[in-house]
Structure 1
Amino acid sequence: MSAQEKPANLLQQLRDFPLFAGVKDSALQWLIDHSRYRCYAKDDYVFREGDPTDHMQIILEGSFLIRREKGGRKRELGVWEAPYVTGVLPFSRMTHAGADGLALETACLLELHRDLFVEMVNVSYTLVQALVGAMTDRVRDFQQIRLMDEKLLALGKMSAGLAHELNNPASAIVRSSQALHKHLAQTPVRFKQLVTMRVDADAVDEVNRVLFDRIQARSDTSELTLMQREALGDELLDWLEDHDIPQADDLIDTFIDWDFHPGHLDAIAEAIPPEALAPVIWWIDTSLTTESLVSEIQTASGRIAELISSIKTYSHMDSEPSMEFIDVSEGLKSTLTMLKFRFKQKNVSLNKETQPNLPNIKALAGELNQVWTNLIANALDALPADGTGKISVRTYQLRDNLCVDIEDNGSGIPADIQSQIFDPFFTTKGVGEGTGMGLDIVQRVLKRHGGTVGVESQPGRTCFRVCFPL
């Protein structure tokens, strides 16, 4: 960086700024006379994050990159190039730079100290008005960047959760399909043993009756205690060994899983010749194992279909962005499905209380889902991961309003900041964990829908209440 003599054509350079189109030459000449002229070489820092911002900077030539470091990573926010006005502006409350400015080429700037802003008001109100307009545009652009950060942060969390949720059923499908492939390789041997047996049609019907009865009436044997499971296994093993069934140990788990008891095996033994019993028992095991693997694949694929359906419901990919009458409970359900991984991750319990036959409300379902996502995600962030966290979601009608309560048992919001939590960019989270736009989005979406949001908070109970007029 070097200070230089001011070029003779500075007035014309400022006159070429669209921002100064209505400003008199005398005001621009005052700006030139009271400013310093500096040039920054390529790769010089025009300013560093955290530096005091004492000057308004008018970029006359060149450009510089705006870059901010977050969580050890540097992120480019954009490029400012001539003609452009940056730095502190009249009536701005900026005190320190929020990012680094790195010259991409030789950049020449005109810099006016903030102590001269009061004098500037007396010199030219039009000049000040133009600069305030530039500040308003800058705030709007910055808000859009922060809003995009919030959306990307939410999208990143959602994508991570979706990947986590899809990974489990996808892994189950791969595991079960591999086991099924290996299992089916044994089927020809079992089939050959079976077809060489002389079994009449009535006996086959009885075997099929027992088999399909167990398939249709299968109970959830996962609820059996370890002692109950071992006791049933001992009974089945005794029966199989008493009837000279080879490799009886390999059959036990399958028969327990399908809730077979010695009485069911007695019915099969009574219907077929003794020499056919072992092949038939092994054929039943083969059929049940195949049924188990196919069932696991169906369950896992069904879970994936359910997740995809929830995504489509959450984002309303199949519908036009127009207001329609919707069931609030459906949006809450799909949002909770999308955030299910977060509940597991933090070991948080969920309590849902839905009043039946609630009226529908006219809304943009996708936007309301942003409301539920932000409120529930904030509640999750406020809870510890030690298993004591609890979130309650309630829907009910209160007089002429449909209301949704989202309550958590976290440490609460301090009373001195409760009035600020809906302000844009206000956040109590650490760097990289939030942008302070979540609750602002909630408030703006609800305002568009004619709804309201309020909060009651004390240690051990924080409740956000969203209400829509009916």
Structure 2
Amino acid sequence: MKNITLDELKAVQALEHVPEEQLNWLIANGQTIEVPEGERFFQKGDPLDKTYIIIEGRFRICAMQGTKIREVLIVKEHTITGYLPFSRATNAFGYGEAMQYMRMLKIEKAKLQDAIKQHYELTEALVHAMTSRVRDFTSMQQQNEKMFALGKLSAGLAHELNNPASAITRGAAALQCQVKLLPELFKDVASLNIASEKIDSINNLLISKTGQQNKQMLTMMQRADKEDQITDWLLDHEIKDLDMAENFVEFDFGPDDLDHLNSCTPSPKLNVVLAWMNNYLLQEKMVADIRDASHRISELVSSVKTFTHMDKDTDKQLLDIHSGIRNTLTLLNHKLRKANVEVIEDFDMQIPQVKALPGELNQVWTNLIDNAVDAMETNGKGVLTIKTKKDGKFVCVYITDNGPGIPAELQSQIFDPFFTTKDMGKGTGLGLDVVTRISQQHNGTVKVKSEPGNTEFTVCFPINDN
């Protein structure tokens, strides 16, 4: 085995300003070790009681997610890892596996603690390495969670946008077909000789039917009965196009209305007036469908803009938490429908606004609601209850699902980074850690109570941000 030299330690950037005598102390009190490719040199849960200075090679830190392995971090050569002075980490959250041959210097924690008392520059370098590790790990953690959340929202949003976009495409194509019929219909209608007062009567009927604001909602049985009545009337009057029965029922026409049209139409031209009217009603329906689909797309875009607060600054601002919750529900609507989840909103609309970062707060609602829906998937259906209320100087949000619950032995671990009960690809194990960090950033708290059929997360924020 080739022992680690002074020059090799000097090549480690974190140690470049440490005096040589202190680096020699490291060599004298450390042990050169080699790790073959593919070998694990620490396991999840092992105490962090050794410092490793990697001279050659690299290793990966992996965590078990369900029954599968997830790569969390790659540690490269010239990195100091393991135990570092003043770090609060006590145990490894995953196992370390060499990705290629490794040679490194290992120093026991007890010996390094002696160095803290004797060697200032060395201690300073190790503390800098520790703070860099915290910064890099936090950045990676946030990026992983954001990308995972973005992927879930993007998939749901793409599906939500696809439905109205497809409806617009279908409606435009159908509308174009109806418009092509207009020249021929115009020729037939122009040949009619109808008194002006009867034309006004037909127009008034048409305007009243298409202008109705509160149409009666029909059951399938009621609609079928009305279509049968219209079909029988058309057959009695020798009208061959029976498909128009469905359209007339859609606009609340009955046999009496058709009798009125017949009385205003010179015989035997009833089929011309009905064909023209049916074409008009179809166009009206298609335009309404296109308008509704366009409005749905506009709502989704508005929800995304509000959810991300693209046009806001990065300072905390007073906001109504209900707006963020509802925008989150809009973006997760596809997943809620797919999982057959009923949403109950029990909102206290009188609670005061809270001072917060809107985009950050929306991450809290996204993670908690998404987790609740995933939990209820095993039931094939579920009820999600979101309640808000003022509790003293706090605004509290309660998110409750009737899924199978969180086992008591796991409830103390669910807020830990990378801990998840979901299958690989369904979660990063960072969601609840993000919820905790954002809550603390806003001087708030997050708690959980769970039993089979009732899991409740409570998030509380101070009204005055204090």
Give the Cα separation in 1 of the matches to 2:158 and 2:50. Answer: 47
AA in 1 matched with 2:104: L
The answer as to whether partners of 1:47 and 1:97 remain within 8 angstroms in 2 is no
Percent of aligned pairs sharing the same letter:
38
1:331-410 equivalence runs, <5 A: 331-410=324-403
Superposed CA RMSD in Å reads: 3.3
Q: Give the Cα separation in 2 of the matches to 1:212 and 1:230.
A: 25
Instruction: Check whether the contact 2:343–2:383 (CA below 8 A) recurs between aligned residues.
Output: yes
Contact 2:37–2:102 (CA<8 Å) still a contact in 1?
A: no
Distance 1:395 1:96 in 2: 35
Q: TM-score, normalised by structure 1?
A: 0.84
1:173 matched residue in structure 2: 168
Look up the match of 1:158: 153
Query: Which has the bigger relative contact order, CA under 8 A and spacing at least 6?
Result: 2
Instruction: Tell me which residue corresponds to 1:197.
Output: 192
Contact 1:48 1:97 in 2 (8 A): no
CA distance in 2, matches of 1:240, 1:46: 80
SS in 2 for 1:383: helix
Q: Contact 1:453–1:464 (CA<8 Å) still a contact in 2? A: yes
Q: Which letter maps to 1:118? A: A
Aligned CA distance change for structure 1 residues 25 and 277 (closer, same or farther; 3 Å)? same
Q: Which residue of 2 is the match for residue 422 of structure 1?
A: 415
CA deviation after TM superposition for structure 1 residue 215, in Å: 0.8
Tell me, yes or no, if the aligned pair for 1:218 and 1:258 is still in contact at 8 Å. Answer: no
The answer on whether the counterparts of 1:410 and 1:461 sit within 8 Å (CA) in structure 2 is yes
For 1:385 and 1:204, locate their aligned partners in 2 and report how far apart those are by CA, in whole Å.
61
SS in 1 for 2:269: helix
Structure 2 counterparts to residues 193-342 of structure 1, below 5 A: 193-217=188-212, 220=215, 223-226=218-221, 228-245=222-239, 247-342=240-335
Determine the structure 2 residue equivalent to 1:45.
Answer: 37
Change (3 A) 1:177 1:209: same
Which has the larger displacement, 29-38 or 274-283? 29-38
Q: Check 1:218–1:299 CA distance in 2 against 1; reply closer, same or farther (3 A cut).
A: same
SS at match of 1:462: strand
The superposition leaves residues 400-422 of structure 1 with CA deviations (integer Å, 9 ceiling, x where unpaired) of: 43222111112222333333433
The one-character-per-residue Cα deviations of 1:208-255 (angstroms, maximum 9, x if unpaired) are: 1111111112765663333x333222321232233333x231221111
Cα 1:259–1:124 change in 2 (3 A) is: closer
1:433 alignment partner in structure 2: 426
Q: Partners in 1 of 2:26 and 2:377 — Cα distance?
A: 56
Q: SS state of the match for residue 423, structure 2? A: coil
**Cα deviation 1:365-421 (Å, max 9, x = unaligned):** 111111111111121122135444111011222334322211111222233333343
Question: For each residue in 1:129-187, what CA deviation from the matched residue of structure 2 results, as whole angstroms up to 9, or x when unmatched?
Answer: 74465345324422321221111111110001101111111111111112122222222
* 1:404–1:118 Cα change, 3 Å: closer
Deviates more, 1:408-417 or 1:93-102: 93-102
- Count matched residues: 452
The aligned residue for residue 118 of structure 1 is 110
410-419 vs 340-349, which deviates more?
Answer: 410-419
Using structure 2 for the length normalisation, give the TM-score.
Answer: 0.85
Distance 1:354 1:163 in 2: 29
Distance 1:390 1:182 in 2: 44
What do the CA deviations read for 1:76-102 (whole angstroms, capped 9, x no partner)?
Answer: 955724x33346668865569646544
- Taking a change above 3 Å as real, the CA distance of residues 51 and 280 of structure 1, as seen in their structure-2 partners, is same
Counterparts of 1:123 and 1:326 in 2: how far apart (Å)?
A: 51
Deviates more, 1:270-279 or 1:217-226: 217-226
**Which of 422, 441, 450 is 2:443 aligned to?**
450
Distance 1:239 1:435, change over 3 A: closer
- Asked if 1:36 corresponds to 2:32, the answer is yes
> Which residue identity is paired with 1:45?
E
* Cα distance in 1 for residues equivalent to 2:341 and 2:295: 25
Query: Structure 2 counterpart of 1:235, which letter?
Result: Q
Are the counterparts in 2 of residues 443 and 452 from structure 1 also a CA contact under 8 Å?
Answer: yes
Which stretch shows the higher mean deviation, 443-452 or 16-25?
A: 16-25
SS state at 2:301 partner: helix
Give the CA deviation at 1:343.
0.9
Secondary structure at 1:406 match in 2? strand
Where do 5+ consecutive residues of structure 2 fail to align? none
The answer (yes or no) to whether the contact 2:115–2:123 under 8 Å persists in 1 is: no
